[in-house]
C-alpha cells in the first residue's frame, strides 16, 4: 500500500513538472524560448542517433546468418529485426525531411513578402 502511494505521488510530481514546462513553453518568454531551444537540440540529437543506428543496423546484420540477429528485438525474423531497429530511423528521417521542407517553404514565403 505504501509503495503504491509513493508511485502515485511520484507520477503526480511528474505530471506537475510536465504541465509546468508546457506552460513555460507556451508563454513567449526567455524561459519558453530557452526550453524550445533545448527541445530542438534534444530532438535533433535523438533523430541523428536513430538515423545512424538504422544505417549501422543494415550494415551489421547479415540476413544470411540468423545468428547475427538471433538475440535482437524482432527476432527470429529478419524483417522483424529491421522493422524494430530501422523503422524508428526511417520515421526520424522522414520527420527531419518534412521539417526541413516546411522551414524552407516558410523562409521563402517570408522572403517573398518583404
pLDDT in tens, the chain (114 residues): 556 666 666 677 777 666 666 665 555 667 777 788 888 899 999 999 999 999 998 888 888 888 877 777 777 788 888 888 899 999 999 999 999 999 888 888 887 776
pLDDT for 75: 75
What residues does each domain of the chain span?
Answer: 30-113
**Distance from C-alpha of 54 to C-alpha of 93, rounded to nearest angstrom:** 10
For position 20, what pLDDT does the model report? 64
Grid cell listed for 110: 517570408
Q: What is the pTM of this model?
A: 0.62
The alpha carbons of the chain give a radius of gyration, in whole angstroms, of 21
Helix, strand, coil percentages, rounded to 5, for the chain? 85, 0, 15
33, three cell numbers: 524560448
- What number of residues does the chain have? 114
pLDDT, residue 105, reads 87
Q: Which residue has the cell 545512424?
A: 52
Cis peptide before 76 (omega within 30 of 0): yes
Amino acid at each position: 500500500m505504501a509503495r503504491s502511494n509513493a508511485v502515485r505521488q511520484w507520477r503526480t510530481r511528474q505530471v506537475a513538472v510536465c504541465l509546468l514546462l508546457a506552460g513555460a513553453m507556451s508563454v513567449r518568454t526567455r524561459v519558453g524560448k530557452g526550453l524550445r531551444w533545448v527541445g530542438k537540440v534534444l530532438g535533433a540529437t535523438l533523430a541523428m542517433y536513430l538515423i545512424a543506428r538504422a544505417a549501422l543496423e543494415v550494415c551489421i546484420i547479415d540476413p544470411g546468418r540468423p545468428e547475427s540477429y538471433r538475440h535482437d528485438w524482432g527476432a527470429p525474423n529478419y524483417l522483424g529485426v529491421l522493422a524494430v531497429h530501422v523503422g524508428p530511423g526511417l520515421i526520424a528521417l522522414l520527420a527531419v525531411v518534412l521539417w526541413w521542407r516546411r522551414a524552407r517553404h516558410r523562409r521563402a514565403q517570408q522572403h517573398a513578402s518583404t
